[in-house]
Structure 1
Amino acid sequence: MKYSVLIVEDEALIARNIARRIEQLNPAFEVKAIATNGLEGLDLAKEHLPNVIFTDIRMPEMDGLELVRNIHEKFPFILCVIISGYSDFEYAKEALRYEVSNYLLKPVNYDELEKTLAALETKLLATQDRFDSVTLLHSSNRAKEIVELIKEYIHKNYQTQIDFTTLASEFGFSVPYLSKIFFKYTEITPSKYLRNYRLNIARQLLRNPELSIADVSQLTGYLDPFHFSKTFKHVYGISPSEYRNE
């Protein structure tokens, strides 16, 4: 799959160089258009609806931050990357308000650009509503990265009330896609993975006699101790109390 790119840069030589480098570093991206200012960039964004916009900050007509603000409000599905000669913290802070994917400094470090493109490809892949076998075959590395991100999220947030909808929205893709891609590489659903992870932590905590069953339940994300005990017994064949006394 090819992902479309719009470059917004008032220096033509720099714009052409960035366009060439993007396509060389990651063939999944194709530069569809180049704009010389933010206003033209906004018009081209409306026309082409690119997957990604790379934009400078200091430009005539409309600067890059104003462009990003407009894109964020009107086309929130378009990913934006800022390329600028200014490392000012205020610029970066303003960019974060509009969920800019990355902030690269001029002159562009091509290793950093390559990493940025890889991250963008992963995110774009994750937001696809459909993930057919052909895409899966050609994008297995990206899919595995997504699965690892889901696992990492579960490891960090297992004590909270995670559900499919929350987990999917956190990564910006649909619930069916999350389940499908996760199961493809783990042979288990995200909900069962979460359950097993919680119960594995619970077994460790049950070794501490100072913690009650209710304490262990709460520490592993189960609000109801009865539900925790029932789930534990369903998986291990014995209750938490019996496990503790073994």
Structure 2
Amino acid sequence: MYKVLIVDDEYLIKKSLNKLITESGYGFTTVLEAEDGEEALELVLQMSPDLIITDINMPVMDGLELIRECKVRQLMCEIVILSGYNEFEYARQALRYEVKDYLLKPIRPEQLDNVLRIVSSKLNLKQKTLSMRSDWLWYCKTTGSRLAGLIWDLDEKQVKMELEDTSSKFMEQSTDVGLLQQLCFELLTFIRKELEHRSGREMPISDLTAFYTITEPSGTLGLLEANIMGLMQDIQANRNHGAFHHIKHAAAYIEQHYMEEELSLQSIAEQLNMSLSYASQSFKEALGVTFVQYLIGLRMEKAKDLLNNSNCKTYEAAHAVGYSDYPHFTRTFKKYFGCSPREYRKRIGLD
């Protein structure tokens, strides 16, 4: 599971370490070897070992230079040094670079076993933390997208309900204030990016570093809510409310008539007693996309839902969402989803 790099110019030491490490049972399955620091640095850059065990005194590039290079390049690996009794001053210098531990020569198996156990525990924790962070980032991204939509619709009641659910989830999963600060920061970042995409302009930037100065969870969550309410106020101040109201009706009309092939912005503008140019501009401002983009997106999502039904033929799905020209439907579907309707059916196991 974990890779180890042994750096030493003495063959017997490398051989002994190799045997002890592979038989340790702490998950170090791959052992790499290097003669000196220069060769080791090349291997580190190529193979990204999890643990480096390096001698201090070596030709070409010594252990301290290797450690320094790893830290300068911000390489994410644990480092243990090999040191003789007469090299304590070098070992002390190495510890300044946050070296995890040091092994005295001649190496005693129980000493190495203890070091490997400690490093393995730290690597396991790091792996778990990275996995947890990945899950949380995905949660922040999906929740941020959902909140951005509610903010864009100026739905204050739903925004506050979503925030309550999010706050409860954050608090249930972790009491770590540092993690909570990071999650709130990430969530707000996703929301701002989504709103900027919809509005086509930069959203006001608050002092996001403030998340890292508050020590109480309630204060951090309160700051998140204050920032989100501020974004909503900004959108409200910059929006043409009359146009937005009309376009919400237009979206509802499209939802009911998307299957009509002749549906156009002109026909919708007539339904709402708006000029074509005003309808086009208002549509983009209110929904963040053009009328054509919105209609295609809606039709493609409806088509995908139909294709999930094994009883529905692909040409039937095309007709059902307003496409009499099947090749045109196929091209549009592939451009939107990255695969043709038939390829999509195969992916979900229906063809």
Q: Secondary structure at the match of 2:79?
A: strand
8 A Cα contact 1:9 1:35, kept in partner = yes
State the match for 2:77 in structure 1.
Answer: 78
Structure 1 segments of 4 or more deviating over 6 A? none
Q: How far is 1:127 from its partner?
A: 1.1
Equivalent residue number for residue 124 of structure 1 = 123
Read off the aligned partner of 2:64 and give its amino acid letter.
L
Alpha-carbon displacement from aligned partner over 1:120-174 (angstroms, at most 9, x marks no partner): 011111112116xxxxxxxxxxxxxxxxxxxxxxxxxxxxxx9531799xxxxx9
Structure 1 unaligned spans of 5+: 132-161, 169-173, 176-222, 228-246
User: Is the CA contact (8 Å cut-off) linking 1:26 and 1:117 kept in structure 2?
Assistant: no
Q: TM-score, normalising length from structure 1?
A: 0.52
Partner of 1:104: 103
Retained in 2: the 8 A contact 1:26–1:114?
A: no
Displacement of 1:30 in angstroms is: 2.2
Q: How much has 1:73 moved relative to structure 2?
A: 1.7
The superposition leaves residues 98-140 of structure 1 with CA deviations (integer Å, 9 ceiling, x where unpaired) of 1101011011111111111110011111112116xxxxxxxxx
Is structure 2 residue 178 aligned with structure 1 residue 165?
yes
- Say which SS state the counterpart of residue 10 (structure 1) adopts: coil
Percent of pairs identical after alignment? 40
Given the two structures, how large is their TM-score scaled by the length of structure 2?
0.37
Deviation at 1:27, TM superposition (A): 4.6
Q: 1:87–1:105: 8 Å Cα contact kept in structure 2?
A: no
Structure with greater proportional helix content: 2
Counterpart residue number, 2:35: 36
Q: How far does the alpha carbon of each residue in 1:48-81 deviate from its partner, in whole angstroms, 9 at most, with x for none?
A: 0000000011100000111111112214411000
Aligned partner of 2:47 in structure 1 is 48
Tell me the secondary structure at the aligned position of residue 61 of structure 1. coil
Q: 1: CA distance between counterparts of 2:180 and 2:14?
A: 37
**Which ranges in structure 2 are unaligned for 5 or more consecutive residues?**
133-174, 184-214, 220-351
Alpha-carbon distance between aligned partners in 1 of 2:85 and 2:38, rounded to the nearest angstrom: 21
If asked which structure has higher relative contact order (CA below 8 Å, sep 6+), I would say: 1
Q: Equivalent residue for 2:208?
A: none
What's the counterpart of residue 89 of structure 1? 88
- Give distance in 1, aligned partners of 2:86 and 2:22: 26
Contact map agreement 1:19 1:31 (CA 8 A) in 2:
no
Deviation at 1:39, TM superposition (A): 0.4
Aligned to 2:10: 11
Does structure 1 conserve the Cα–Cα contact (< 8 Å) formed by 2:84 and 2:104? Answer: yes
Contact 2:22–2:31 (8 Å) recurs in 1: no
